[in-house]
Structure 1
Amino acid sequence: MKPMDASMDGDDTMKNAIRHSPLSIVLTDPRIEDNPITYVNTAFETLTLFSRSYAIGRNCRFLQGPETDTQHVGRIRDGLESEKEFEVTLTNYRADGSAFRNQLLVAPIHGEDGELTAFFGLQREVPGGAEAAGEEDSIGLLRELQHRVKNHLAMIVSMIRLQARQEVTEDSLKAISRRIEALSVLYDELLSGGSEGTSEEIAAGAYLSRIASVISSLEPRGAVRVNVECDEVSLPVDQAARLGLLLSEFLTNALEHAFEGRSAGSVEVRFARRDEGGVRLIVEDDGNGLPEGSNWPFSAASIEAQRDRAEHHEGALDTTGENGKPGVGGSIVQALTQSLEADLSVERLEQGTRVTVEL
Structure 2
Amino acid sequence: MADTFHPSADSDLVTEEELFFDDRAFDGFARAEVSMVLTNPHLEDNPIVYVNQAFTRTTGYPRSAIIGRNCRFLQGEDTEKASVDALRKHIQADETVAVDILNYRASGEPFMNRLVVSPIIDSKGRVQYFMGIQKVLRKGERTAGPDTVNEQLMEVQNRVHADLSMIISMIRQQSAATSVPEDFAALSRRIETLQLLYEEMKLSDTQSTRGTIPMGSFMSRLACAICHIEGRSGVRVSIHIEPAEVPIEVATRVGLVASELLTNAFQHAFDRLDNGLVEIRMSQLSAGGLRLIVSDDGTGIPRNMQWPSDKTVGGRIINGLIEGLEGTLHLGRGAAGSFITIDVPAGASLSE
1:116 maps to what in 2? 127
Alpha carbons 1:41, 1:181 under 8 Å: kept = no
Q: CA deviation at 1:335?
A: 0.8
Equivalent of 1:254 in 241, 265, 268: 265
The reply to whether residue 228 of structure 1 matches residue 239 of structure 2 is yes
In 2: Cα distance, 1:49 partner to 1:58 partner: 15
Alpha carbons 1:281, 1:356 under 8 Å: kept = yes
Q: Residue 241 of structure 1 aligns to which amino acid in structure 2?
A: T
2:3 maps to what in 1? none
Call closer, same or farther: CA 1:96–1:87 in 2, change over 3 Å: same
Call closer, same or farther: CA 1:289–1:116 in 2, change over 3 Å: same
Q: CA deviation at 1:280?
A: 1.1
Uncovered stretches (5+) of structure 2, i.e. residues with no partner: 1-21, 345-352
Call closer, same or farther: CA 1:13–1:114 in 2, change over 3 Å: closer
| Cα offsets for 1:14-50 (capped at 9, x unmatched) | 3522253323322123344432223333443343343
The reply to whether residue 334 of structure 1 matches residue 329 of structure 2 is no
The reply to whether residue 343 of structure 1 matches residue 294 of structure 2 is no
| Cα offsets for 1:231-271 (capped at 9, x unmatched) | 22122211111111111111111111112223443322222
The reply to whether residue 23 of structure 1 matches residue 34 of structure 2 is yes
In 2: Cα distance, 1:209 partner to 1:30 partner: 36
Call closer, same or farther: CA 1:100–1:254 in 2, change over 3 Å: farther
Alpha carbons 2:128, 2:180 under 8 Å: kept = no
1:94 maps to what in 2? 105
In 1: Cα distance, 2:204 partner to 2:76 partner: 34
Equivalent of 2:310 in 280, 297, 300: 300
Alpha carbons 1:41, 1:180 under 8 Å: kept = no
Alpha carbons 2:38, 2:129 under 8 Å: kept = yes
Alpha carbons 2:33, 2:205 under 8 Å: kept = no
Q: Alignment partner of 2:305: what SS?
A: coil
In 1: Cα distance, 2:206 partner to 2:341 partner: 25
Q: Residue 65 of structure 1 aligns to which amino acid in structure 2?
A: G
Alpha carbons 2:141, 2:149 under 8 Å: kept = no
Deviates more, 1:70-79 or 1:121-130: 121-130
Q: Residue 354 of structure 1 aligns to which amino acid in structure 2?
A: F
Q: CA deviation at 1:200?
A: 1.7
In 1: Cα distance, 2:205 partner to 2:105 partner: 30
In 2: Cα distance, 1:26 partner to 1:78 partner: 19
In 2: Cα distance, 1:49 partner to 1:121 partner: 17
Uncovered stretches (5+) of structure 1, i.e. residues with no partner: 1-10, 302-326
Alpha carbons 2:31, 2:52 under 8 Å: kept = no
Q: Alignment partner of 1:277: what SS?
A: coil
Alpha carbons 1:110, 1:116 under 8 Å: kept = yes
Q: CA deviation at 1:205?
A: 1.8
1:319 maps to what in 2? none
Alpha carbons 1:195, 1:201 under 8 Å: kept = no
Q: CA deviation at 1:77?
A: 2.2
Deviates more, 1:123-132 or 1:52-61: 123-132
In 2: Cα distance, 1:286 partner to 1:26 partner: 39
2:157 maps to what in 1? 146
Aligned residues: percent identity? Answer: 40
| Cα offsets for 1:248-297 (capped at 9, x unmatched) | 11111111111222344332222221123311111122222223522221
In 1: Cα distance, 2:114 partner to 2:234 partner: 41
Q: CA deviation at 1:133?
A: 6.9
Alpha carbons 2:281, 2:292 under 8 Å: kept = yes
Q: CA deviation at 1:358?
A: 0.7
Q: CA deviation at 1:180?
A: 0.9
Alpha carbons 1:279, 1:358 under 8 Å: kept = yes
Deviates more, 1:229-238 or 1:95-104: 95-104
In 1: Cα distance, 2:62 partner to 2:179 partner: 16
In 2: Cα distance, 1:355 partner to 1:231 partner: 18
